[in-house]
Amino acid sequence: MEMSFRWYGKSDSIPLEYIRQIPGMKGIVTAIYDIPVGEAWPLEKIMELKKTVEEHGMRISVIESVPVHEDIKIGLPTRDKYIENYKTTIRNLGKAGIPVVCYNFMPVFDWTRSQLDYQLPDGSTALIYEEEIVQKMDPLTGEISLPGWDTSYKKEELHELFDHYKNVDEEKLWENLEYFLNEIIPVAEEADVKMAIHPDDPPWGIFGLPRIITNKESLERFISIYDSPYNGLTMCSGSLGADPDNDFPEMLRYFGKKGRVNFVHARNIKHTGPKSFQESAHVSEYGSLDMYEIIRAMKDFDYTGPIRPDHGRMIWGETGKPGYGLYDRALGATYLIGLWEAEVKNRQR
C-alpha cells in the first residue's frame, strides 16, 4: 500500500512541509479547486500542481475528486458536453502521469453529517450523523446548514435540481451512471488513469434523493457494467461501514481479489443506531470497525495502491476544516502503517 494524505491545495492551512514529516507519507491526494464543476482541467494547471507536490518530496497518488456535473447524473441532453469535458480532464491527467481518479455519483449532496463538532468523552470533537436530525431537515427551506450546502448552491438552484431529480429514481440513476461509464472508461484505459468511484456517504438515500453505491450487491453491479480494472472502486471503510449490514473487510477482500480496488479510505466509525454513527479515532477499540481486519484483507490481495486516513477528529486544540485536521489524521496514518508492517512481517515468518 502507498500511504497518502488529502491536501486541499495552497489554501489548505496544513502545508505540504508538515505532511511530508508524517512518517511513511508517500503520496498526496488533491484536486484543482478553482475550476467550475463540468469544465475541463487544463494540462498546465495539472502540471503546476504536480510540480508543487513533487518539490516537497511526494507525488500525487490520487486526484480526489474530479466532480461529475449534475446534468450527467440527471441525464439531461447537456450531459454530452460535460462528458466530453470530463474525457479531456482524464486525458490531461493521464499525460501528467496521475494514476488514479476518485469521484462519486451522489445526487446534489456529497458526504452528509448532522454535526461537525460533536464532543467525544475525551474532549476531542468529531463529525457525527444522526438519522433523526437529518430526517427533520429540509434542504429546500435551508434553515439548517449541512456541509457543502450553502456554498455549493443558491436556494433557487437547489429547487431546480430537486425538480429535475423528481424524474430520477434509483434505476434511472443506474442508467445514467452506465451511460457515463461507457463513455469515460475507454478513455481512462487509453490514458492509463484508474477510475475509483467513492461509495455514497452515508450509504442510504437522503432527502428523497436516490443513492445507489451502498453495499456489496451494488458494487458488484457497478463493476459488471464495464469489465475493466480501470472501472474500479474507492473502498471507504467509514462510508460503507456506516451500514452495520456491510461487512467491510469481507467486501474489501472480495473486490480486491477481483482487481477492482483502486483506492482505500480508512477510518473508524462507531454505530450509535441502525442509521446513526460517530466518527471515531482510527484505533479499533474506539469504533465499530476492526481496523486490523481491514489491513489483513488488503494484505490478502497484496494491495499496492494508495490508501489514506479519511476524516480525523479535532484534537490538541487544532482548528480548521472539520474532519481534515493534521494531528488525528497523522496519528491514523502511522497507526495504519504499524498494522501493515506487523501483518507483512508476520506473514514472512
Q: Is 113 in the site for Mn ion (CB under 5 A)?
A: no
Say how far apart CA 229 and CA 62 lie, in whole Å.
16
Catalytic annotation present for 198: yes
Contact segment (CB under 5 A) with Mn ion among 24-32, 243-251, 264-272, 321-329 equals: 264-272
Catalytic residue among 71, 82, 165, 236: 236
Give yes or no for residue 310 binding Mn ion (CB under 5 A): yes
Catalytic pick among 86, 286, 303, 324 = 324
Catalytic-role residue among 265, 286, 328, 335: 265
Residue with cell 502545508: 15
Q: Is 265 a catalytic residue?
A: yes
Compare residues 102 and 330 and give the one whose CB is closer to Mn ion.
102
CA 110 to chain centre: 9
164 is catalytic: no
Nearer to Mn ion, 189 or 310 (CB): 310
Q: Near Mn ion by CB under 5 A, which window of 68-76, 92-100, 150-158, 263-271?
A: 263-271
DSSP-assigned letter for residue 310: -
CB of 326 to Mn ion, least distance (A): 18
Classify residue 146 as left (phi > 0), alpha (psi -120 to 50) or beta: beta
Q: Which residues contact 87 (CB under 8 A, 6 or more apart)?
A: 183, 184, 187
User: What amino acid is encoded at 114 in this protein?
Assistant: S
| 236 part of the active site | yes
CA 337 to chain centroid, in Å, comes to 20
Rounded to whole angstroms, the Cα distance separating 105 from 213 reads: 8
Amino acid identity, position 173: L
49 within 8 A of 60, measured Cβ to Cβ? yes
Using the minimum distance from each CB to Mn ion, give the nearer residue, 85 or 104. 104
Q: Is 236 in the site for Mn ion (CB under 5 A)?
A: yes
Between the alpha carbon of residue 170 and those of residues 20, 174, 218, 258, 291, the distances in Å are 42, 6, 11, 25, 32
CA gap 133, 115 in Å, rounded: 9
216-225 and 248-257 helices, crossing angle to 10°: 20
Between 187 and 236, CB nearer to Mn ion: 236
- Nearest residue (CB) to Mn ion, 71 versus 310: 310
Of residues 69 and 311, the one with the C-beta less far from Mn ion: 311
Q: Which three cell numbers stand for residue 115?
A: 454535526
Interacting span for Mn ion (CB under 5 A) from 30-38, 217-225, 304-312, 335-343 = 304-312
Please tell me whether residue 71 binds Mn ion under the rule CB under 5 A.
no
Distance of closest approach, residue 198 Cβ to Mn ion, in angstroms: 6
Give the active site residue among 69, 311, 328, 335.
311
**159 is a catalytic site residue:** no
Distance CA 145, CA 43 (A): 35
Least separation, in Å, of the C-beta of 342 and Mn ion? 24
In this structure, what C-alpha cell is assigned to residue 49? 500542481
CB 297 within 8 A of CB 307: no
Site string for Mn ion, 32-61 (x = CB under 5 A): ------------------------------
Whether 102 is catalytic is no
Considering the rule CB under 5 A, would residue 265 count as an interface residue with Mn ion?
A: yes
Residues engaged in binding Mn ion (CB under 5 A): 236, 265, 310
Which sequence positions are flagged as catalytic? 198, 236, 265, 310-311, 324
